[in-house]
């Protein structure tokens, strides 16, 4: 069966015995068209199944009122919160979103960037894949002066703005807290340090150890994909160690929980034997027993700040940011997983 022909403004004009120009203006809520005529136009458009050709209009206006978002993973509480913040701020100003995930692949990230460019998005919001080492695949955006904002996982570029927290300071605070609880053999579970977040968290961990005269040990830094399953695998490695660590700082909560659960199954007491600190303040931190000490920072706030900054840029082509880096607040949320017995 052949597809039905698309309904056009000319069909509506013919039915109502008015001009196509009047229909077009009515559908755009133009003030010169009376409310009575607008109602007739909208009612008939609804009944006939008319669809506005936003793409054709965007070619005329050179704007699509659409932002692209590329994130490493969609099944992340933090990234879901960021997207919710972006959506709230963008929708308030009449912008729609196109969302893609890189699945932690720089190759897939590059493909998504090209798709966003071909879709003529007005701007791009990106958190980089774990293996992205350069920004060459964003050159089409930079050359066309289409704004790109990086958030959380970022890289410096003269034509973009970065929105993040001070990961070095947050990691320093987490590690110092474990030291203050009496820990001296502190392990750090993290991801490959190509990205700023993991590089800076490792730096903060090292700084805290150094300031407290604790020798840094390469074998106490474990590189994983930070999944819950990876946490369980690290637990198995820990159980084979001659001397167990007495504290563990993990670069996300999911991996921390996986490690905690596996250790508890083998009789390790938390925090008495090993104290834990995670990162991100995911909801799981208050489900696991004992509740997980973690670093809290608002993904929703990060999304709103990123979207509002992008909107300001898109609405004013002469807009110049006063800074290329925006640092948001984070805080250590102390819970039972890191409080050694008798230390409050």
Write phi, then psi, for 189 (nearest 5 degrees): -105, 125
Q: Is residue 202 part of a domain?
A: yes
State whether 127 and 194 are in the same domain: no
Do 221 and 124 reside in the same domain of the chain?
no
Residue 2 domain flag: no
Do 78 and 128 lie in one domain? The reply is yes
pLDDT at 7: 83
Instruction: Indicate the length of the chain as a whole number.
Output: 344
Question: What pLDDT is recorded for position 53?
Answer: 62
Please give the tally of structural domains in the chain.
3
Both structure tokens of 172: 């320093």
Look up the domain containing 224 and give its range.
167-297+332-338
**Residues sharing a CB contact under 8 Å with residue 313, sequence separation 6 or more, in sequence order:** 123, 147, 319, 321
Are 161 and 149 in contact by the 8 Å Cβ rule? The answer is yes
Q: How far apart are CA 73 and CA 140, in angstroms?
A: 24
Are residues 149 and 160 in contact, defined by beta-carbon separation less than 8 angstroms?
A: yes
Q: Is residue 3 part of a domain?
A: no
For residue 337, what are the contacts with CB-CB under 8 A and spacing of at least 6? 260, 270, 271, 275, 276, 277, 288, 290, 291, 292, 293
Same domain, yes or no: 147 and 229: no
Q: What is the pTM of this model?
A: 0.81
Looking at the fold, whether 22 and 124 belong to one and the same domain comes out as no
pLDDT at res. 1: 38
| Same-domain pairing of 293 and 314 | no
Decide if 314 contacts 147 (C-beta within 8 A).
yes
| Paired tokens of 235 | 């637990």
Q: Read off the tokens for 213.
A: 């005269």
Q: Measured between alpha carbons, how far is 168 from 262 in angstroms, rounded to an integer?
A: 28
Closest to 303 in 3D by CA, of 138, 122, 67: 67
Do 150 and 209 belong to one domain? no
Do 153 and 214 fall into the same domain?
Answer: no
> Contact 185/243 with Cβ under 8 angstroms?
yes
Query: Do the domain assignments include residue 344?
Result: no
Q: What is the pLDDT of residue 8?
A: 87
In a domain, 125, yes or no: yes
Cα 119–Cα 123–Cα 125 angle in degrees, nearest 5: 105
CB 85 within 8 A of CB 302: yes
With beta carbons less than 8 A apart as the criterion, state whether 277 and 338 touch. yes
Q: How far is CA 262 from CA 90, 282, 337, in A?
A: 42, 19, 15
The answer to the question of residue 139 being in a domain is: yes
Are 130 and 198 in a shared domain? no
pLDDT along the chain (344 residues), means of 10: 68 91 86 90 86 57 85 93 96 93 96 91 96 94 92 93 97 98 97 94 98 96 96 96 96 97 97 97 96 97 96 73 83 96 54
d(CA 12, CA 15): 5
Q: How many CB atoms lie within 10 A of CB 169?
A: 16
pLDDT in tens, 163-184: 999 999 999 999 999 999 999 9
CATH of the domain at 155: 3.40.50.2300
Q: Are 96 and 118 in contact (CB under 8 A)?
A: no
Q: How far apart are CA 40 and CA 26, in angstroms?
A: 9
Residue 1 counted as domain residue: no
């Amino acid at each position: 069966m052949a597809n039905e022909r698309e309904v056009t403004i000319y069909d509506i004009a013919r039915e109502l015995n008015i001009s196509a120009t009047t229909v077009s203006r009515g559908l755009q809520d133009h003030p010169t068209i009376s409310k009575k005529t607008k109602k007739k136009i909208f009612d008939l458009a609804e009944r006939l199944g008319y669809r506005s050709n936003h793409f054709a209009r965007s070619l005329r206006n050179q704007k699509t009122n659409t932002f692209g978002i590329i994130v490493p993973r969609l099944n992340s509480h933090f990234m879901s919160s960021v997207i919710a913040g972006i959506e709230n701020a963008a929708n308030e100003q009449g912008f729609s979103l196109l969302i893609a995930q890189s699945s932690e692949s720089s190759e897939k990230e590059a493909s998504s960037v090209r798709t966003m460019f071909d879709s003529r998005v007005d701007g791009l919001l990106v958190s980089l894949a774990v293996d992205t080492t350069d920004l060459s695949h964003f050159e089409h955006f930079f050359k066309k002066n289409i704004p790109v904002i990086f958030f959380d996982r970022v890289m410096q570029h003269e034509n973009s703005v970065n929105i993040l927290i001070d990961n070095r300071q947050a990691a320093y605070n987490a590690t110092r807290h474990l030291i203050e609880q009496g820990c001296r053999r502190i392990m750090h579970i993290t991801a490959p340090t190509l990205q700023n977040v993991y590089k800076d968290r490792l730096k903060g961990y090292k700084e805290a150890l150094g300031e407290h005269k604790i020798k840094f040990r390469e074998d106490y830094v474990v590189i994983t994909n930070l999944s819950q399953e990876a946490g369980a695998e690290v637990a198995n490695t820990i159980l084979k160690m001659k001397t167990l660590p007495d504290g563990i700082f993990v670069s996300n909560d999911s991996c921390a929980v996986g490690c905690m659960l596996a250790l508890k199954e083998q009789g390790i007491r938390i925090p008495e034997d090993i104290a834990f600190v995670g990162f991100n303040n995911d909801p799981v931190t208050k489900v696991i027993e004992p509740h997980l000490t973690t670093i809290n920072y608002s993904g929703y706030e990060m999304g709103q700040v990123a979207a509002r900054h992008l909107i300001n840029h898109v609405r004013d082509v002469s807009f110049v940011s006063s800074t290329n880096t925006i640092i948001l607040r984070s805080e250590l949320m102390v819970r039972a997983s890191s409080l050694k017995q008798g230390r409050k």
